[in-house]
Structure 1
Amino acid sequence: MNNSQQRGGDRSAARRAELITIGRKLFADTSYDALSMDDIAQHAGVAKGLIYYYFKSKRGYYLAIIEDSVGDLVARAARHDDLPPVERVQRTVDGYLRYAEHHQAAYRAIISGGVGFDAEVHAIRDGVREAMMGTIAEGTYGHKDVPCLVRTALLGWLCSVEGVTLDWIGRRDLPRATVCALLVRTLGDTLRVIEDFEPSYPAPARRP
């Protein structure tokens, strides 16, 4: 690849990233069906054909935005690996809630499955779950590879987190700190149940 091709590729990648950033803002609190491609192009200040050039369709554009949002969510979860386990869990859950609070439409799409039953969005959601379970397992046990029982229990807790978070962003009748403390406490209970079934996977000691 020559220098001009490299520069062209960089500009193209930057333009695509710029359109995704614009789309994340547009879809932050607006549902998929509420925005037409004409609306998106008008808000972005570009020709509609440019969006089709980079993403092929409105759905392709939306999936690219969701995937970018997921990357942000997962990065938030893994950001505190230098902290003690209990504090790391608290920061991870708080970051998760902050993301959902400020990107409500994207969060609902990720967790609820997108537009109708969308297999690709479901796959993205499953990837988020795996990343979150891996972060919790690594912070608790020092590694991500855990037995089926441990994984199943962590998945049950994470599904409850999703339900609580969806309810919370819909109602907003509790402070984020309270919701975070509730979810961290229930995770502690889950880890102690895991220890009952799998003594080789002990729960962290309770704080005095």
Structure 2
Amino acid sequence: MNSTQQFATERSQLRRAELIATGRKLFADTSYDALSMDDMARHAGVAKGLIYYYFKSKRGYYFAVVEDSVAELVARAASDTELPRAERVHRTIDGYLLYAQHHQAAFRTVVTGGVGFDTQVQALREAVREELIAAIAEGAYGRRGIPQLARLALLGWLSAVESVTLDWLNHPELARETVRSLLVRMLRNTLDTVGEFVPECPSPPPAA
């Protein structure tokens, strides 16, 4: 690739990233159906055809925005490996709530499965779930791979987290710290139960 081609590629990637950044602001608290392509183009300050060029369709643009914002959540869950395990679990849960709070439309899309039965969104949801379960397992047991029964227990807890978080978004008078403490306590109960059923996954000692 010559320098001219490389410059064109970098410029194209930058423009696409700028459109996604605009989309993240638009979709932060606005649903898919509430925005038209004309609305999106006007907010981005570009011709509508440019959005079609990069994303093919309104749905393609929306999915790219959701995928990009969810990548931030997954990256946060996988970070801070140098922290003590208990603190890492707390930060993972708090990061999850922060993401839901600041990306409500994207969070609702991922958790509820998108418009109709959207296979791409379903696949994205499963990927996010697996990463979060792995992050919690690593924080609790020091490893990402755990027996299936332990995974099922954590999946049940995560399903409760999704439901609690969705309802919390409708009741912003509840402090995030309170909801986080509730979810941490629910996780502690889940880990204690796992320890009873799966001897190779003993319940971690309580945080000091």
Q: Which residue of 1 aligns with 2:93?
A: 93
In 2, the alpha carbon distance for the partners of 1:207 and 1:103 equals: 30
Matched, 1:150 2:150: yes
Q: Cα offset for 1:3?
A: 1.0
Instruction: Give the deviation of 1:207 after TM superposition.
Output: 3.4
Equivalent residues in 2 for 1:67-78, closer than 5 Å: 67-78=67-78
1:195 partner SS: helix
Distance 1:81 1:92 in 2: 11
Identity %: 62
Secondary structure of 2:33's partner?
Answer: helix
Alpha-carbon separation, structure 1, partners of 2:81 and 2:184? 17
Task: Report the Cα offset of residue 203 of structure 1.
Answer: 1.3
Query: What's the CA shift for 1:90?
Result: 0.7
- Structure 2 CA distance, aligned partners of 1:8 and 1:131? 35
Q: What secondary structure sits across from 2:170 in the alignment? A: helix
- Matches for 1:36-185 after TM superposition, within 5 Å: 36-185=36-185
SS across alignment from 1:171: coil
Letter in 1 for 2:120: E
Structure-2 separation of matches of 1:170 and 1:2? 53
CA distance in structure 1 between the partners assigned to 2:122 and 2:76 by the alignment: 20
- What TM-score comes out, normalization by structure 2 length? 0.98
CA deviations 1:176-208 (Å, max 9, x no partner) are 000001101111110110000011111111235
The answer to whether the Cα contact below 8 Å between 1:80 and 1:92 also exists between their aligned partners in 2 is no
CA distance in 2, matches of 1:202, 1:139: 13
- d(CA) in 2 for partners of 1:2 and 1:11? 14
The amino acid that maps onto 2:86 is V
Shift of 1:15: 0.5
The question of 1:15 aligning with 2:15 is answered yes
C-alpha displacement of 1:79: 2.2
The one-letter code sitting in structure 2 at the alignment partner of 1:4 is T
For residues 135 and 207 of structure 2, what CA distance do their matches in structure 1 show? 21
Structure 2 CA distance for aligned equivalents of residues 92 and 80 of structure 1: 9
Are the aligned partners of 1:55 and 1:61 in contact in 2 as well (CA < 8 Å)? yes
Q: How many residues are matched?
A: 208
Please, what is the CA RMSD of the aligned residues? 0.9
In structure 2, the partner of 1:188 is 188
**Cα deviations across residues 158-182 of structure 1 (Å, max 9, x unaligned)?**
0100000000011113110000011
Structure 1 segments of 4 or more deviating over 6 A? none
Structure 1 counterpart of 2:134, which letter? G
- The CA distance in 1 between the partners of 2:106 and 2:200, in whole Å, is 38
CA shift, 1:31, in A, is 0.5
